[in-house]
Amino acid sequence: MANNAPEQSHRNDEDKMVTINVKDYVDIPEPKPRGPGGRPPDPRVVQLAIRCYKRDDPKKATVFRCIGTNSGCRSAWVTAKRSKQRVLNHAASCEHIPCDLREQLDGGLAKTAPSAKLHPSNGANMAPASASMMSHRVGSKGPSKPSHNPDPSQPSVYNLAKKTRLDNLTAQLDADIVQFFCVGGLAPSKANLPQWKTIWQHAVPSYNPASASKLEEYHIPSEAAFVRTKQLEHLWTCVNLSITFDGQKIHSPQSVYTIHIITPDREVYLFDGNEASEESHTADHLFQVLDTVCS
């Protein structure tokens, strides 16, 4: 997006993401704690989201800008308090944040990914189990619920088993939906269509599919962090790796560079991307992009 693009107008909506020009904003220090007690702020979030306000705003409404706005990012949030999960999800995919910092964030963010919540096998063989759970719900009555609980002080085994099945099914469906949208190249906004929600109401009434905003701001970024973490774990075990680097323009138009890593077994991994529409494509710029990946 060009620097002279019109800036999105601020509204009074809580926790609204906006596009800014960092030159129009004034940073302000963090307020001092009012007293002892309370949960201390996460230092990562304080580092990643800088407190500021718009220079010409007479009310000086609080805005938190991404630390990457110092080097090209234009994302900020109009809100009284930082949203930890939203800030971390944005930072994990923001190409204007140093690569080493993003890798540190990936480790924590990957734990919240839909695929990470599956069976300990990390989803390697969960589809048959999910299918059996689905058919159990739809096609059979399943184990009969006991007519009475011999010891009222103990939790019902039936209820615990039912909750476990529903939790496992929810985790599997969340992961399947993320893959469906990403592999199919579908816009997350499709998740808000009433027809999409009706499908799940008919198929699995107990399941509440993620909204478009939850998909875009939580599930997809955390899943991307999970994939990057697994890629690194595997690539660290390999030797004689090759790197390919290429650039092209997409319809927006935006200039995008992609970096792939190839193993000796000819496995190809899309490792990183760099949107450089506002940069001069000099040798120095290309070297910096590659150096962050190689270091």
- Domain locations in the chain? 16-31+41-97, 112-138+156-224, 238-294
Residue range 96-113: mean pLDDT, rounded: 77
Query: Residue 217: which pLDDT band, with cuts at 50, 70 and 90?
Result: confident
Q: Predicted confidence band at 251 (pLDDT cuts at 50, 70, 90)?
A: low
81 vs 251, residue with greater confidence: 81
pLDDT surpassing 90 at residue 172:
yes
Torsion of CA 35, 36, 37, 40, to 10 degrees: 80
**Sorting pLDDT into bands at 50, 70 and 90, what band is 157?**
confident
CB 91 within 8 A of CB 76: no
Does this model's pTM top 0.75? no
pLDDT attached to residue 152: 61
What average pLDDT does the structure give for the chain? 78
* Spatial distance between the Cα atoms of 45 and 48, rounded to a whole number of angstroms: 5
Measure Cα distances from 41 to 83, 182, 230, 292 in Å.
11, 33, 29, 29
pLDDT tens digits, residue range 43-58?
A: 888 888 999 999 999 9
With both helix axes pointing from N to C terminus, report the angle between 84-93 and 220-235 in degrees, rounded to the nearest 10: 50
Please report which confidence band the pLDDT of residue 71 belongs to, taking 50, 70 and 90 as the band edges: confident
Contact 56, 8 (CB under 8 A): no
Predicted pLDDT of residue 295: 64
Neighbour tally for 267: CB within 10 Å = 11
Name beta bridge partners: 257: 247, 274
pLDDT at 188: 93
Q: How confident is the model at residue 274 (pLDDT cuts 50, 70, 90)?
A: confident
d(CA 207, CA 187) in angstroms, rounded, equals: 21
Please check the confidence at residue 24 and state whether its pLDDT lies above 70. Answer: yes
| Confidence at 119, pLDDT banded by 50, 70, 90 | low
Does residue 124 register a pLDDT over 60?
no
Per-residue pLDDT at 98 exceeds 70 = yes
pLDDT recorded at residue 47: 87
Short-list 293, 256, 279, CA closest to 99: 293
Q: What band does 151 get if pLDDT is binned at 50, 70 and 90?
A: low
Question: How many percent of the chain have pLDDT more than 90?
Answer: 29
What phi and psi, each to the nearest 5 degrees, are found at residue 54? -75, 135
Q: Comparing 36-40, 116-120, 177-181, 243-247, which segment has the lowest mean pLDDT?
A: 36-40
